Every structure is written in C-alpha cells, then in structure tokens.
Amino acid sequence: MKTTKKITRKPSDAAPTAPARAFAARRGGCYHVPMHASTTLAQHRLRAGMVGLGMIFDETYRPLFEQLHAEGLYRRDFGLVEVALTAVASRTGSRAERLQQSAGGRLGAFQSFTEPNAVGQLLPHVDAVCIATPDDRHFEPARQALTAGKHVLIEKPCVLRVQELDELQALARQHNVLAKVVYHKLADPDHKKLRTHYVDGNLKHVNHGYCSLLEPKSISGGQFAEWIKGRNPGTYVACHYIKLIDFTFGPAWKLSRITATGQRGLVGAATGPTWDSVQLQMVYTHPDQREAAFDIHTSWVTPDNFPGYVEQEVQFRFDNGVWNSHQRKRGVELCIEGKTPHQFKETPNHHYNGTFVEPWGERSQRGYGVEILRKFFEEVAFVEHGGPPHQRAQRLEDMRALTYNDVSADRNTVAVVQALEAILARHAAGQPGSMVEVNAPEGGLVLRVPGRPEPEVLCPQRV
Ligand SMILES: NC(=O)c1ccc[n+]([C@@H]2O[C@H](COP(=O)([O-])OP(=O)(O)OC[C@H]3O[C@@H](n4cnc5c(N)ncnc54)[C@H](O)[C@@H]3O)[C@@H](O)[C@H]2O)c1
C-alpha cells in the first residue's frame, strides 16, 4: 500500500527540498496540508491586513484566511508561502472582537486597530492590505497603504472617480507594489465561458446587451442602512456588469456615452438623493465604428420574499449569436420548511460560495468568490518570492499586466461609475436626463444637461 511520509522542517530552513516538491507534485501540484499536521516548509511569509469586517469579509475573506492559515499558499514557482491575517482595522473594534472569539484558532492571532487612524496603525504590521469598506471609503485607506509601500486589494468599485484611480495607480508605480480590485463575477464559470467563446471567435461582434441585479429590501433597509443615505444601488452592483462587459468584449473598442435614470420614494424621499433603483445605459464604439449599447438595471427594493433573493440576469446579442444566462434558472431550487428563503436561499449559487462536506469527509468553503481573492495572494507571492530579487521588477510588471484586476485596467469601469453618480446627482437636483460624453473635445468625462449650453467637465484627463 502506498503511504505518504510526513515531512517536518523548521520555518527557518532553506528552500523546499526535492522530496517536498515531489510530495506536492504527487498531489497534482496542490500542496494540501491537513489542519492537524505539523508540516512546516514555508520559508516566506505574507502578512495580510483587513480594513472593514462586514458581510463580504465574512463571506469570502474569512474562509480564505482560514484556508491559508491551515494550508499556506503553494505554487511551484514561489514554493510554500505562509499567508496570515495579522491585523484588522475597523471603526469600533466590536466586529474584530467577535471575530477573534468565534475564530476558534482557525485564523491565528491578529491585532485589532480602531479609529482614530486605524489604517495608519495597521500598516506597519502587514505586507498587503485588503479593503472592504463601503465604496465611498475605499480611496483613503488605499492611498495610505500604497504610500506605505503595501500591496493593495480593493473591493469593487475600487474608487468613485477617475482622478482617484489615477492617483492610486501612480502611487502603486512609485512604491513598486500591486494595486488590484476584486470583480468576482469575472471568475464565474459561465462568464469565463462567455469570454472564451468571444476570444475564440465563436461569438462575433457584440451588438447590445441587458444585465440586471435586483436585491431585496433587507439590503437597503438593514445590511446597508448605515451608509445608504444619498447613495444608489447602481454604483456598487452595476459595476460588476460594467466590468464584465468591458473586460469580456474589450479592449479594442472605445467607451463613448453614458446615460442613466432611476426611481426614488421607498428608501428615501421621492425627491431626495437616495435611489431605490437605477437604469444605466453605456454605449461603446467598435473599431469599425458600429456602436454597442448595454442596459444595466439595479435595485435594492425587491420584496424580501422574492424567491430569487438576488435576481440576476445577463443577455448579450452578437452578429451571429445570443447568450442568455439567468442566476435562478441555471441551477438548484431548494425549499425547506421554516428555513428557506432566509436561513437558506431558494436558488443558491454554489459556484460563487458554498459550505460543503467534501466526498472525502473534509468540511470546506469554496467558490469563485473565494478563488478570486486567493489569486491576489498568489500574485503578491509571485512578485515577492517567485524568483530572484533582481527580477522582482519584471514579475511586478507581469502581474500588473493582468487586466482582470489591475487598477490600471479599471478606467472605463470607474469612468462609468463617476458618470452615473454625476447624472443621478443632477437628477436629484432637479435636472434629469443628462448624458456624459467620453473623451469629448472639452475633456475625458463631460456632463451635458438638457437645456444647458455649458457642459460640466467631470474629469479633464482622457479616459
Ligand atoms: N465582491 C462582491 O460581490 C461584493 C459583495 C458585497 C460587497 N462588496 C463590496 O465590499 C465592500 C463592503 O461591502 P459589505 O457588503 O461587506 O458592506 P458592510 O456594510 O457589510 O461592511 C462594511 C464594513 O466596513 C466597516 N467600515 C466602514 N467604514 C470604515 C472605516 N472608515 N474603516 C474601517 N472600517 C469601516 C463597517 O463597519 C463594516 O464592518 C463594498 O465596497 C461592496 O461594494 C463586494
């Protein structure tokens, strides 16, 4: 019978030996160390910091940090790297306290820093910082972290203005670190297949599309109630689809125009600045001058007992084909008395994130929501430990060239978000129906209001 020999080395030991690499290779290149094992081969360590400990931290970052604590991060090029959550920054520290209590040894020890200057206190203790605060509070912690020479991962949308994006990108270059943003829908197998068909030329020349993401009232009334005033559901979820479209069908085309409207009256006053639902249209121009138009509808006032929980749909039309996908119609429908739809979703997306008893007995939490975060740590590990120090600059450039998550490739998405916010602000101020032109003679993002001859330049730099 074949047996697996346990290999035990001290952290200070030199590079993983041939037996260790063979051990990893036998496991299909995936170095899995059971949680109870004392096996320690890592010669490198990455210290991670977390800013914001809300819903998305619980759903995706926490399971990843638990896995990394148990198993480390292995790839043939950088070997075994320990990745540890060493510090968290939050406003009051109460969530950090609860996390420490509930972690039960699955996370390791971490320091908790609170306001004032929570991020500033956290920075000396980490090599990379993940930012999962509400989206109008991404820029400042990202700016601080990059200035301190830390790699940064920001939840979508990374920032709300192209000018902020440019500043983060410049800081990342100046301090020789990565600045990345999380769009987990790019890792959804259906969206990967859509892009694969487009890259392979099976689907040709996208003409138009429609995407929707409708969230329940509990999101606007409970989960996000603290920061929702003056905000809209488009900025933080339409950006998923803006990025999907821009990444899947670009980069040869040019973003041309953005329009938007929406409804008010449920979450806030009918004439106020807080939006219930938003309809956005963005128009791109292909190199052959044909235009492609995409409508993205978002809402956070769907009744809580709607069976979809979050209703998501994507449709694209091409010169030679159609792609329709629907979150609720692609998979499982579940009903358990007294448990669905609240404790368990009725149409769960187990590809995004699910907790499982694996066939081999292990309990796990996995899905593309976790996988996409792991990629960031692989990219950081590759930059820092994927080869000799004198080749670090090249490795950094290689990782920056990954357009799915580098901030340098996020210009169009941030430009659309900036335009959307400006159009809705004008609407709330009594001037509906504006249009933002991209790379107009007056500037990179130019807001034109019906009946007003003078445009407003939202961003002078070209997008
Ligand atoms: N990738 C996704 O699909 C996905 C899903 C949900 C949310 N998000 C994004 O993640 C971010 C957070 O969303 P969430 O759902 O976790 O929101 P949330 O409201 O549940 O959590 C936000 C957390 O940030 C904390 N916070 C607020 N201001 C802070 C500050 N100045 N310093 C430190 N902490 C602060 C809050 O106390 C809270 O714990 C948003 O940008 C959102 O768009 C992404």
Q: List the structure tokens of 20.
A: 């260790």
Mean pLDDT of 110-138: 96
Range from 2-11, 30-39, 379-388 carrying the lowest mean pLDDT = 2-11
Q: Which of 133, 213, 300 has the most ligand 1 atoms within 8 A of CB, as the residue to mutate?
A: 133
Give residue-wise pLDDT tens across range 24-44. Answer: 333 333 333 344 444 556 689
| Ligand 1 atom showing the smallest separation from residue 92 Cα | 37
Q: CA 228 to CA 213: how far, in whole Å?
A: 17
Q: So what's the pLDDT on residue 40?
A: 57
CA 49 to ligand 1 centroid distance, Å = 15
Query: pLDDT at residue 10 above 90?
Result: no
For ligand 1, say whether the CB of 236 is within 6 Å of any of its atoms: yes
Given a cut of 60, whether residue 69 has pLDDT beyond it is yes
Regarding the beta carbon of 353 and ligand 1, being less than 6 Å apart is answered no
**Cis before residue 450, ω within 30 degrees of 0?**
no
Query: Which protein residue has the closest C-alpha to ligand 1 atom 21?
Result: 54
Tell me the mean pLDDT in the region 358-370: 94
| Residue 397 CA: distances (Å) to CA of 82, 383, 402, 447 | 23, 9, 9, 35
Q: Whole-model pTM?
A: 0.90
For ligand 1, whether the C-beta of 155 sits within 6 Å is yes
Ligand 1 atom nearest residue 137's Cα = 31
All residues at 6 or more sequence positions from 333 whose CB lies less than 8 Å from its CB, including other chains: 346, 347
What is the number of the ligand 1 atom nearest to the C-alpha of 56?
A: 16
Write down the mean pLDDT value for the chain: 90
Q: By three-state DSSP, how is residue 82 classified?
A: strand
Banded model confidence at residue 117, pLDDT cuts 50, 70, 90: very high
For the CA of 53, the closest atom of ligand 1 is 39
Task: Give the amino acid at 416.
Answer: V
Tell whether ligand 1 has an atom less than 6 A from the beta carbon of residue 180.
Answer: no
Which of 60, 59, 104, 68 minimizes the C-alpha distance to 86?
68
Q: Is 61 in the pocket of ligand 1 (CB under 6 A)?
A: no
Cβ 224 under 6 angstroms from ligand 1: yes
Protein residue closest via CA to atom 28 of ligand 1: 133
Determine which residue's CA is closest to atom 4 belonging to ligand 1.
56
Which is it for strands 73-75 and 44-51: parallel, antiparallel or unpaired? unpaired
Q: Is 249 in the pocket of ligand 1 (CB under 6 A)?
A: no
Task: Compute, in angstroms, the gap from residue 43 CA to the centroid of ligand 1.
Answer: 33
Alpha helices in 8-158, H assignment, sequence order:
18-26, 55-56, 62-71, 94-103, 118-122, 139-147
Q: For the chain, which domains are there?
A: 18-184+362-401 (3.40.50.720), 189-350+412-459 (3.30.360.10)
Instruction: List pLDDT tens digits, range 391-414.
Output: 999 999 999 999 999 999 999 999
